[in-house]
Amino acid sequence: MSHEGLLVVVSGPSGAGKGTVLKRLKDSDDSIRFSISATTRTIRQGEKEGLNYFFKTRDEFKSMIEAGQLLEWVEYCGNYYGTPKEYIETTVKEGYDCLLEIEVEGAANVKKAYPDCVLIFILPPSFEELKRRIEKRATEEPEIVAKRLQRAREEMAYIENYDYVIVNDKIEDAVENLRSILKAEKLKLNRNRKMIEQFKH
Ligand code: 5GP
């Protein structure tokens, strides 16, 4: 592929349906790759090492930080999460669009390191609906539901950093909107400088 791919960062409260939207897009588009984060949290049922995350001990995670292998990392709800740098750099150079599903502080740090990246925030249709989704999903204690809702409110403070917002009411519409964003981003003048240059001689 002649073009560099896009670096796309997606955030949003838990219960917004980010994972489902991103997976639908990836399944329908061969040019998309997911970045796989490293984390110290315990593996959940149904998750796979190297597919959902690279599961690390705290010591292993610290070594990755010290070796400069992480583009960004945060402590979130008592665990570390970080984005391995090399994979996303190679992926984008090879022309694939690289999608990162990370929380708001990490997203801001990726933007600092790569100002050309695209930041997208996914929201549920309303706060009531968010509450309903979190409660429905919750095998979780009421305190955890309350904590997640509180966290969702806090994350809203970061929304000004983002380039686009997608409301995930109907999943197909959300996927289509995401697809449209990537398409339009690729047509931006700044991403097509090389092609334009040839017309100037
Ligand atoms: P979970 O434990 O539910 O998989 O993820 C918790 C939160 O961490 C989610 O908001 C997820 O997007 C975020 N997250 C996952 N990987 C990374 C990462 O590499 N960096 C940052 N900053 N956040 C991450």
Task: Please choose, from the candidates 55, 158, 164, 43, the residue with its C-alpha nearest in 3D space to the C-alpha of residue 105.
Answer: 158
The alpha carbon of 194 and the centre of ligand 1 are apart by a number of angstroms equal to: 35
Q: Is 68 domain-assigned?
A: yes
Q: Is 201 domain-assigned?
A: no
Q: Is 71 domain-assigned?
A: yes
Atom 10 in ligand 1: which residue has the minimum CA distance? 103
Query: CATH code at 170?
Result: 3.40.50.300
Atom 24 in ligand 1: which residue has the minimum CA distance? 102
Burial per residue of 89-117, b for 16 or more beta-carbon CB atoms within 10 angstroms, e otherwise: eebbeeebbbbbbbbbbbbbbbbeeeeeb
**Helix residue ranges, H only, 104-141:** 104-113, 127-137
Q: What is the mean pLDDT of residues 61-89?
A: 96
The alpha carbon of 104 and the centre of ligand 1 are apart by a number of angstroms equal to: 9
Quick one: the chain helix, strand, coil %, rounded to 5? 45, 20, 30
State the Cα–Cα distance between residues 77 and 25, nearest whole angstrom.
28
Q: Is 149 domain-assigned?
A: yes
Residue 101's φ and ψ, nearest 5 degrees, are -105, 100
Q: Is 116 domain-assigned?
A: yes
Domain that holds residue 134: 7-189
Q: Is 197 domain-assigned?
A: no
Q: What is the mean pLDDT of residues 167-177?
A: 97
For residue 189, the 8-state DSSP code is G
Mean pLDDT, rounded, of the chain:
94
Query: Which segment of 62-76, 127-141, 177-191 scores lowest on mean pLDDT?
Result: 127-141
Is residue 138's pLDDT more than 90? no
Q: Is the CB of 151 under 6 A from ligand 1?
A: no
When pLDDT is cut at 50, 70 and 90, the band that residue 135 belongs to is confident
The more confidently predicted of residues 147 and 113 is 113
Q: What is the mean pLDDT of residues 13-28?
A: 93
Atom of ligand 1 nearest to the CA of 18: 12
pLDDT at 142: 81
Q: Is 94 domain-assigned?
A: yes
Atom of ligand 1 nearest to the CA of 101: 12
State the Cα–Cα distance between residues 159 and 153, nearest whole angstrom.
11
Contact present, 3 and 96 (Cβ < 8 Å)? no
Is residue 139's pLDDT more than 70? no
17: left (phi over 0), alpha (psi -120 to 50) or beta: left
Q: Which of 40, 52, 102 to mutate to test the pocket of ligand 1 (most atoms within 8 A of CB)?
A: 102
Give how many domains the chain has, as a whole number: 1
Q: Is 198 domain-assigned?
A: no
